[in-house]
């Protein structure tokens, strides 16, 4: 059974409302993995404080082509979160404050439910915070004082991650600095419009919604500097 995570550096309905390539791709993966032509898709907007506008945009993007739902935690309505999430084909995590999101998930047991969902073949995806959370660690702006190392991600994928790699001027140099210093382990960076597709801990491919979007492997070289390697990509357009 595949254990699929699609980590979008940036993109999807909230960043590219007129470009459905990445969202279409994850829906296709969910159809293939779970066998339903109209997949069940659940949105987690925890990182944005369950923003009503964000949730409304999700329904506008998905309600016509999937059985769409969302999991609210600030005004919680689901008693059995694990069963609710295990009934999905695709779980889509939005952007926002990653550290706050992970802390809230752990209070409500969402972290454990997501691990079980991953192990049972439910496709997991997201952008920004929803991309970073699946890794052990990475770069986050959760603390509001520039980019820092994420304290503890879910760890489904080993190593570190930097989303929005080309979208913000400080992302690349700060990630290089933290990897070079040993504050972060080696990992993967993704531009806006690029998505890293994993099966378990293994990178399967990189897909993009923009012809020039890229993804990278970033490691600490023997001389102590960060070394960046461009990964092969497949443009979905």
Positions annotated as catalytic residues are 128, 164
C-alpha 197/C-alpha 123 separation (Å) is 10
CA distance 229 to 74: 40
User: Which tokens sit at 143?
Assistant: 């603390």
Cα separation, 147 vs 138, in Å, equals 10
| All residues at 6 or more sequence positions from 107 whose CB lies less than 8 Å from its CB, including other chains | none
Q: What is the dihedral of CA 155, 164, 27, 69, to 10 degrees?
A: 80
Burial classification of residue 82, based on how many CB atoms lie within 10 Å of its CB (0-12 exposed, 13-18 middle, 19 or more buried): middle
For 115-175, give the secondary structure using H, E and C: HHHHHCCCEEEEECHHHHCCEEEEEECCCCCCCEECCCCCCCEEEEEECCCCCCCCHHHHH
**The tokens 């998930």 sit on which residue?**
105
The closest of 89, 121, 126 to 105, measured between CA atoms, is: 126
Residue linked to tokens 């994993």: 198
């Amino acid at each position: 059974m595949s254990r699929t995570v699609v980590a979008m550096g940036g993109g999807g309905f909230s960043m590219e409302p007129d470009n459905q390539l990445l969202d279409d791709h994850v829906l296709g993966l969910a159809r293939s993995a779970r066998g339903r032509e109209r997949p069940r898709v659940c949105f987690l907007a925890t990182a944005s404080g369950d923003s009503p506008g964000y949730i409304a945009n999700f329904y506008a993007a998905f309600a016509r082509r999937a059985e769409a739902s969302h999991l609210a935690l600030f005004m919680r309505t689901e008693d059995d979160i694990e069963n609710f999430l295990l009934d999905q084909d695709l779980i889509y995590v939005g952007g926002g404050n990653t550290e706050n999101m992970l802390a809230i998930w752990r209070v409500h047991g969402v972290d454990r439910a997501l691990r079980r969902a991953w192990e049972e073949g439910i496709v997991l995806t997201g952008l920004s915070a929803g991309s970073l959370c699946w890794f052990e660690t990475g770069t986050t702006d959760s603390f509001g004082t520039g980019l820092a190392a994420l304290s503890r991600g879910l760890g489904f994928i080993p190593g570190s991650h930097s989303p929005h790699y080309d979208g913000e001027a400080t992302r690349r140099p700060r990630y290089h600095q933290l990897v070079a210093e040993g504050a972060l382990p080696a990992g993967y960076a993704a531009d806006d419009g690029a998505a890293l597709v994993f099966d378990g801990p293994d990178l399967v491919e990189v897909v993009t919604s923009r012809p020039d979007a890229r993804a990278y492997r970033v490691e600490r070289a023997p001389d102590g500097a960060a070394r960046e390697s461009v990964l092969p990509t497949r443009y979905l357009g």
